[in-house]
Amino acid sequence: MNKYLKESILLACVILPYVYLTFIWNALPEKVPTHFNFNGVADRWSDKTFLLLVPAGLGVFIYLLMLFIPLIDPKKKIRQMGDKYSSFRFMLGFFFAMLSVYLLYVSKEGGMKNPNLLIALIGVFLALLGNYFQTVRPNYFIGIRTPWTLENEQVWKKTHHLGGRLWMVGGILVAALSFIINNNHLMGIVFGTLLFVMVIIPVVFSYTEFKKEKKMLNR
């Protein structure tokens, strides 16, 4: 797939939410819900023109950010990633396109009939990130960037091998539990707990592995 086709697909992901918004615009009331509580009930309302910012704040921002990052990479490691960086851009672009469309749909409907669908979507995204993390090379922008992974390439590889698998399992578990747990408050607690575990374990692991590597070098 050549770079122009890849960029066209990414731009299509950016445009998709605006196409959907154009399609539903006349069906929207002048005031639409823009924030929801744990039960999916709207608790904040805005003028419908506010929805124009949803795709811009998500898809457009991410697209421009991903274009800009390689330009400021001090050691040009992002460019060395080649297709892996393109895959990451695709993953982000598609996810935020779907998220934008979902949020626009929810505003049109006036509430979330099942808030756990959003958590399921996030869970799938986390699992995909976990799969990606296992292949990503050391860099300053993408991955599990702790002081210890950035300092030592072996620590980076080991941490991303563990963390990638952990995020895959955690993401799948989040997605699965979102369809099993009907209590939104309980699901929120479970989601927060799993996310904390997914973050803290790789951080602690990278620190302990760095200490091991350092001890071996000092022998």
In this prediction, residue 110 carries a pLDDT of 77
Specify whether the CB–CB gap between 177 and 187 falls below 8 A.
Answer: yes
Position 152 scores a pLDDT of 93
- Per-residue pLDDT tens digits of the chain, which is 219 residues long: 567 788 888 899 999 999 999 999 988 888 888 777 766 677 778 888 888 887 777 888 888 888 898 888 888 888 878 788 888 998 999 999 988 898 888 888 877 777 788 889 999 999 999 999 998 989 989 999 999 999 999 999 999 999 999 999 999 999 999 999 888 888 889 999 999 999 999 999 999 999 998 887 776
The predicted pLDDT at position 1 comes to 59
Q: What is the pLDDT of residue 43?
A: 75
Q: What is the per-residue pLDDT for 71?
A: 87
The pTM of this model reads 0.84
Sorted by where each begins, the domain ranges of the chain are 1-113, 115-219
Beta strands at 31-36 and 42-47: parallel, antiparallel or unpaired? antiparallel
pLDDT of residue 185: 83
Instruction: From 122, 94, 68, select the one nearest 10 (Cα to Cα).
Output: 94
SS3 content of the chain, % helix, strand, coil (to 5): 75, 5, 20
Q: Which residues contact 164 (CB under 8 A, 6 or more apart)?
A: 130, 131, 132, 133, 134
